[in-house]
A and B are shown apart, each in its own frame.
Chain A
Amino acid sequence: MNQNQTADLLKRSMPFQTVPGEMLEAIAKLARYESYARGDVIYHQGDFADDVFIVSSGAVQHTLGIGFQATHPEKIVRSGGVFGWAAVLDNQRTRMAKTVCMERTELIRINGEELINFFKATPETGDIVMSRFATMINKEYTMPEEVAGHVPHFTQVPVTVATGLSLTMFRLSQWLKSPKPYLMMTGFGILLATWYLAVEVWKLPRFADMPGLTTVMKEWFSKDPVYGLSIWTPEYYQHIWVSVRRILIAFFLATVLGVPLGLFLGWSKTFREYVFPVFETLRPIPILAWVPLAIIMFQGSETPVIFLTFLASFYATALNTMLGVETIDESYSRAAACLGASKWQVFREVIVPGAMPFMFTGLQISIGVAWFSLVAGEMVAGEYGLGYVINTSYTMVRYPTIVIGMITLGIVGYVSSALVRMAGDYMMQWRVRELALGGR
């Protein structure tokens, strides 16, 4: 590994990220290259801490000893990762962890003492690097702040560990540096550009009558809309609220009834024999086929729409919850039985939480189909609501308003699924953390 490659590697590591180029090259001169085989132990807990290590390729298992109060004592360090930071702490030069190579690993090592001496000449940069070391020790290695605070500082300003806000800013800047936001914007850009070009510039044959991008935007944001509906008119929000209220009621009922039904369907074989065939016969009937019956069955215009919305959601929720129960590994129930749980305790402690990932997938689908059937219902039987807006705008030849209704549906629908997803993440912390560790 030559000096440029070493400098590049340093640049990728969290503590050295902000160090200017020529200084990186100088630090690179301090570094030594080494390679290890799978299973090699780089150091044991209690060894003298001489060097810090930066992984170039491979993977190193880093296990902090008991008694250092790390909340996550185990960590896999991969390319760009830094370990062996005990070598720069000013109170403790002994290793606190054991490190083992999990595969063939290439890394560079830099003597802690030499690094600190180097930074004495450039105290400002040194403090930035050391405070980033402290943040890394605290956030990535989950060590208490007291330990992280023992990195040396060179100027009069004391070193601080990054707090909530600056950490969020760090993550935000990382996100902005990644290609994700730009890919997302490109996707939207292509959609809008195609629309604009097809309708307004090229005037393609079948697109000529469609409302164009600029027409719709002007109408949507106009204080005095031609067709009476824009973000400045109260009717716009009334329509949104009516639709949202129907969704809330229908989704609530579907969840309250669908989840227990699904749980019992999955749990009790006998119950399933009775109910499942009926369920499976009713489920394929399209929601639109229910419209006439819904109008006959329920009074007024509100209840039939809510019923239709409820029905689609209910099937999705119940079915997915049932599948969730079925996919639970039998050893969980057996383990619970071994540990003395009664049948009811197994249901409460194993079946319910075990089915939760599928249950929330069901709720995601459920909120999606709820909007789908809501709009169908509103088009046929509603007064007010976004589906009603779209339908009446069509009959009254208010084409831009149709598109405003559609875009609004898209946004409100997206927000509602995001809320369901957030609720799921909140209730399944175990799963969020598990997936986060898997790099997803």
Chain B
Amino acid sequence: MSAVMQDLKVPPQAGKAGGALKGAIRIEDVVKIYDPEGAAVMAVDHCSLDIPAGEICMIVGPSGCGKTTLLNAIAGFHSITSGKIYLDNELLCGPPEKPMAQPGADRIVVFQNGALFPWKSNIDNVAFGPMMQGKLSKKEIYEKARSIMADAGLSGTEHNFPGEVSSGLRRRVEIVRALMNEPKVLLFDEPYRALDSLTKSVMHEALLEIYYKNKVTIFFITHDLEEAIFLGHRLVIMTSRPCKPKKIIDVDIPHPRDYSVLTSTRYRQLMDETVELVHEEAKKAFSAGEKEG
């Protein structure tokens, strides 16, 4: 393993955006085998991936291919069977000593169905992380929460409950709640899956806007190619279960992007190049009869 450690490359995108970026993820030969009642199911198969700090890395694959398993391993919700995952060269998990990462505010997940606490007002949700960590005073936390919400265009909704605002606004509050902790990495688990396409397009632009201000590393799971090409620096196309990178594609459309990208020739070309790859895997997954998850 030490040999692999040595050829750690300088992240290509990080260099451009300024040297002090944090949040490089290094996935080394990770295997995850689920063992329900003795029937070993391999979800992740010798997967290696380097994500430089500050990159938007889109993980594309059919539903149920095991990409969420990878995300859960980084977040610290699940153990891995073998391999190692590093964040900024610090070991997050690597069996046998440390099969499971500790969940922490440096890697925050934005969940598929949204996980804002419906019993807390929007501002209480945003303030939740720092309040739990107890590093700042309540007054400081709420001042910061108000200003960060104002920056994201959420003024006026502070004292609403999440159930009272539109699903688009809810997603924005959830991302702001994560950013409040100054995380190194944001992990998105198909967050816009349930949104209609109109709201989705608005959310994509809003996410990019937030990203340009904060430059965190984004690990974004999706099965929507359009979304993947529009947002990502790179697409990692996954094989169907067991999952490992099938092909990595650089999206050479310059940032900052807006929705006019969708009509550009380059976007169409990339779409043509990738759609066949993804479709192939989707067919495999379909014929294997895999379930969602």
B77, B107, B119, B164: which has the most chain A beta carbons within 10 Å? B119
Q: Which residues from chain A contact B119 at a C-beta distance below 8 Å? A: 353-354, 356, 428, 430-431
A335 touches B109 (CB 8 A): yes
| Cα separation A410 to B111 with both chains bound (whole Å) | 47
A39 within 8 A of B: yes
Whether B117 is near chain A, meaning CB under 8 Å from some CB there, is yes
Cα A388 to Cα B105 in complex, Å, equals 61
CB of A287 closer than 8 Å to a CB of B = no
Q: Is the CB of B115 within 8 A of A74?
A: no
Check if B108 is an interface residue, CB within 8 A of chain A.
yes
* Chain A hits for B86, CB < 8 A: none
Query: Bound complex: CA of A338 vs CA of B160, how far in Å?
Result: 23
Q: Using an 8 Å CB-CB cutoff, how does the interface string of A297-330 with B read, 1 for contact, 0 for none?
A: 0000000000000000000000000000000010
Interface size class of A (residues with CB under 8 A): 35 or more
A73, A339, A356 interface centre (most CB from chain B within 10 Å): A339
Give the complex CA separation of A74 and B128 in angstroms.
24
For B166, list chain A residues within 8 Å (CB).
Answer: 61, 63, 74
Report A357-407 residues with CB < 8 Å from chain B CB: none
A437 to B167 CA separation, bound complex (whole angstroms) = 13
Interface size on B (CB < 8 Å)? 39
Whether A350 sits at the interface, judged by CB under 8 Å, is yes
B160 touches A71 (CB 8 A): yes
Minimum C-beta distance from B216 to chain A (A)? 14
Query: Are B103 and A72 within 8 A (Cβ)?
Result: no
Residues of A within 8 A of B155 (CB): 66-67
Q: Which residue of B lies closest to A73 (CB)?
A: B156
Contact A337/B111 with A70-B156, A342-B132, A433-B163 known, Cβ cut-off 8 Å = no
B113 in the interface (beta carbon within 8 A): yes
User: A327-359 CB contact bits vs B (8 Å, 1 = yes)?
Assistant: 001011011111111100100011001101000
Residue pair A334, B109 in contact (C-beta under 8 Å): yes
Please pick, from B76, B153, B198, the residue contacting A66 in the complex, using a CB distance under 8 A.
B153
Cβ A339 vs Cβ B181 within 8 A:
yes
* Chain B 151-169 interface 0/1 with A at a Cβ cutoff of 8 Å (1 = within): 0010111011111111001
Write the A91-134 contact mask toward B (1 if CB under 8 angstroms, else 0): 00000000010000000000000000000000000000000000
Kindly count the residue-residue contacts between A and B in the assembled complex, taking CB atoms under 8 Å apart.
Answer: 107
Check A238 for interface membership: any CB of B closer than 8 A. no
Docked Cα-Cα span, A74 to B129, in Å, equals: 27
- In angstroms, Cα B231 to Cα A401, docked, is 76
A335 to B117, CA, bound (A): 9
Contact A331 B115 (CB under 8 A): yes
| CB-CB nearest in chain A for B107 | A338
* Contact A334 B164, CB 8 Å, known A66-B156, A430-B119: no
A381 to B111, CA, bound (A): 56
> A339-B128, A340-B181 given as contacts; is B111 within 8 A of A334 (CB)?
yes
**For the complex, is A434 an interface residue (Cβ under 8 Å from B)?**
yes
Residue contact B163 to A437, C-beta cutoff 8 Å? yes
Beyond A340-B104, A349-B117, A428-B119, whether A334 also contacts B157 by CB under 8 A is: no
- Provide the bound-state CA to CA distance between A356 and B120, in Å: 13
Tell which of A72, A329, A337, A341 touches B113, judged by Cβ atoms closer than 8 Å.
Answer: A329
Given A349-B128, A433-B164, the answer on whether A338 and B109 have CB atoms closer than 8 Å is yes
Given the interface contacts A339-B177, A350-B117, A434-B164, does A71 sit within 8 Å of B104 by beta carbon?
no
Known: A66-B153, A70-B156; 5 extra A-B contacts, CB below 8 A, are A64-B156, A332-B117, A340-B104, A430-B120, A434-B164
